[in-house]
Each structure stands twice: as C-alpha cells, then as structure tokens.
Structure 1
Amino acid sequence: MSQDTTDLLKVLAVTLLVFAGGTLVMLYIILLLAQYGANLPMIGSLPLNAPPELVPILVSNGVFATLAAVHVTASGLALLLTSNTIDMALIIAAKAVTVVIMALLGFAGGHMVYLQLTENAALNLNPLLPALIALIGFLVLSTALSVPALRRLGNLRFVVGVAAIVLGPLLLIWF
C-alpha cells in the first residue's frame, strides 16, 4: 500500500469520526435548544426530524453514479492524452468525492447513534448501501484505477482509455 493510499485512508477515518461526532453534538444541541429554548424566536421551529431523510435522498438521486460515470469517461480521455494537470485533477476529484461520501456516512452514523441514544431506534444500514458502494468505487478510482496507475500499462493504456470512454456511459445506464 502506497503512502498516498495510507494517507487517504487516514483522512477518511478522521472525516468519518469528525462528522459523526459533529452530527451527534449538533443534534443534541438542537434537542436541548428545542426543549429549553422553545420560546426563543427561531429556535422553537428547529426541525428535529429532517436529517434522517437527507441521507437516502442524497444517495439515491444518482449524483454519485453520475460523477463515477463522468470520471470513468474523463479518465479514458486522459489516458489518450498526456497531461499531468488532467491526471492530478482526476485524482483530486476522486479523492474529494471519496471524502465527501465519507462525510455523508459520518453524518448518517452520528444521526443513527443519536436516534439510538434518544429514541432507542433500530439501526438500519440499508439506505446507506449505495453510499458504501460509491465510496468503494471512488476509493478504487483514486488509487488502483487512477490515471497515473493506468499509465504504467504502456501502450495498452490506449485500449484501456477507449474502453473507459465506452464504459462511462454504460455505467450511467446501469446505475
């Protein structure tokens, strides 16, 4: 495992913990404000039930599948060209989306812990499955299947590039 991959995994772990903890604290503050500050302007109208619906909506609307399809197509084009700037842009984009997905999972985890502690609600991870699949996909796109890693294939990169250009739209159709 390369140092870049190790660093990315550390960032992902910290992102998950920070967003889970931040969500937990935020929801408890909202709960406290709603209970003890309900007569204050604007605080009494804070929605306590909005966050759980956000995660499935964000995950199921196809944003991550669309980004993955475009990323695969752009990677195919980048393999046909020679540009370190494009290569770095694609790596940074894949890592950024990976971190955003991990932040979303951290938010969902923090919210689930909050619901478990306050309402003894059952944990349901099924709505998070698309986000977990997207996380794995973008983690692979930012490490093993990154453009610099595929450039090491030599001239075979042109075949892989053409295949990626064709595969991108198919991914959009499949997902």
Structure 2
Amino acid sequence: MDHIIEVTLAEGLEGRLPEGLDPALVERAIAAVLRAEGGAAPLEVGVLITDDAHIHAMNRDYRGVDAPTDVLSFADDGPESGFVAQAEGPRYLGDIAISYERVVAQAAEYGHAPARELAYLSAHGALHLLGHDHERGPDEAAAMRAHEEAAMAAIGLPR
C-alpha cells in the first residue's frame, strides 16, 4: 500500500524553516498513522507548512476562531465530484495545515525538539482526517493521545 503525502511550504518559507523542521519528517509521521489507522486502501494527504498569520486567517475563515493555532485538518467529506476517480488509485483523505511558528514555540514550552513537535502535530492532523476528535470528550482525547504516541514511537521519536 503506497500512501501519497505531499508536503508544501507556503510561499516565502523555502530556506527559512528552523533546523529540524524537515518536510520528510511530516511524511514519515503521517505515513505511520495511515499504516496503523487508515486501513488497507492507499490514501492521499496534502500538507501545508505555513506561518501564524496564514493559519490565523484559515482558523478564522473556516472555524470562526480569530486566533492562530498549531494545526488544522480539512477532511474530504464534501459531495462526490463529477470526475471519475481511478478504481485502483489512492483515496483523497484531506489536507492539513501546520504553523511552523507554533511548532517552534510549543516545542520550547513542552521541552522537546521542534522535530518531535512537527511530527506530533502531523500525526494529530492525520488522526483528525481519519475521524478522531479529542474535543468529543476525555475518552476520545486519551485514544488520540495513544495513537499519536504510537506514531511517534514508530518513527523513532518517543517521549
């Protein structure tokens, strides 16, 4: 099963990301979640690494929350397209946006490397695309945390 994970840097971020914020790490973290949680069919996920200003605007426009956030997930739960998909091709799961500025700040706050925070937020966003939601209550939040930590262990970034 080959998942497709496409990571894009927002305009102007090329060469500006702090050390350790590697797009390949995003791919590895999401792939770990998809292998563990996504079932047998190949899936496609798009990821945008951006800054606080951009994610703030998206959070305001799409969630009605006028503040920056660390990660947003946009699951493909809309109406069926008029285009015919390839029967054996991957299913488009959705998109994730991550603020690299929140990654750096939260890594410092939690006392771990920015690379771990980036991978963690990538896994968190992928779990949202798969239907998990920590806001449903403490049991779902604990389940998400366990899945996130399993993904971190799978890619060699345990606590």
Normalising by structure 1, we get a TM-score of 0.27
Please say which structure displays the higher CA radius of gyration.
Answer: 1
The structure with the largest helix share of the pair is 1
- Higher relative contact order at CA 8 Å, sep ≥6: structure 1 or structure 2? 1
